[in-house]
Amino acid sequence: MIEDTTDKSTLDVTSAIAAVQAKIESCGLSVKESSDFQKFEETIRGTDEKYLMEDFSPRFFDLHGATAFWIAAYNEHGNIVSVQAAKVEDLQDRCLAEHWKQQQRRIFVDPNPQARFGTDHAHDAYFLRGKIVYHGNLWLRRDIRGKGLAEPLTQLGFLVSLLKWSPDYLYGLMAAKAAEKGFGVRVGYRRFVPRGTHWVVAPGHIRSDDWLVYSTRSDLHGLARMLASRTSAEGPE
């Protein structure tokens, strides 16, 4: 008899989410999930950086609960201290690089003729197909940076994406400096390509040194098992 691991995998993910959420709450923060991206834009505009990625802007995309979510973290005073977002694309008929070519042109190049989109994108992007989650727009308020909160907050976004969509891949675009310092490994990415999207002339607000960082579904389940077993080993307080 072949063991059915589906239920076990789901329990691992839910246990990992509970563990990560408990860690966040132990630092005095609470988290809330939403699919209201008009509210996301309003929330982002109220932060110190005010940077809303076009990928998560309702001005460019119809974002709703079936395909996207965002998570906010609040301190004990109810002030927002972190946000992140994720959305899923079904790329059965094209690879991620081809998706970038279509999407980035529409978002960045058409409104800005000075920008020039290249063709030499991250190698792996030409092979990634299927159900793919993009995770981004991660922001932490300055006073909570460097306190070990970026890891559990980001992992929460990964795990919720895994539970919701069971994607083939989850990816992000990360500044080379952050990737080289190991931030991607700490939060849960397992595969790294020292190039993201290729820009001949990048728009002014877009970094040209990004790395493609990603995890497979199996990698994400491995992350969930690790977090769940770590909590189990530590036992109750």
Residue 234: inside a domain, yes or no? no
Residue 218: inside a domain, yes or no? yes
Contact by Cβ (8 Å): 16, 228: yes
If one counts the domains in the chain, the total is 1
Task: Write down the pTM of the prediction.
Answer: 0.91
Q: What is the mean pLDDT of residues 94-121?
A: 87
Cα distance between residue 236 and residue 232, in whole Å: 8
pLDDT in tens, 185-223: 999 999 999 988 888 888 777 877 899 999 999 999 999
Residue 219: inside a domain, yes or no? yes
Query: Measured in whole angstroms, how far is the alpha carbon of residue 125 from the centre of its chain?
Result: 16
Listed residue (212, 180, 182) closest to 195, CA to CA: 212
Residue 59's domain spans which residues? 6-228
What CATH number has the domain bearing residue 208?
Answer: 3.40.630.30
Residue 102: inside a domain, yes or no? yes
Residue 237: inside a domain, yes or no? no
Determine how β-strand 130-140 pairs with β-strand 211-216: unpaired
Residue 173: inside a domain, yes or no? yes
Residue 28: inside a domain, yes or no? yes
**182-206 b/e with 16+ CB inside 10 Å = b?**
ebbeebbbbebbebbbbbeebbeeb
| pLDDT recorded at residue 167 | 97
pLDDT in tens, 43-75: 998 887 788 999 999 989 999 999 999 999 999
Cα distance between residue 160 and residue 155, in whole Å: 9
| pLDDT recorded at residue 234 | 59
Residue 236: inside a domain, yes or no? no
Query: Measured in whole angstroms, how far is the alpha carbon of residue 96 from the centre of its chain?
Result: 15
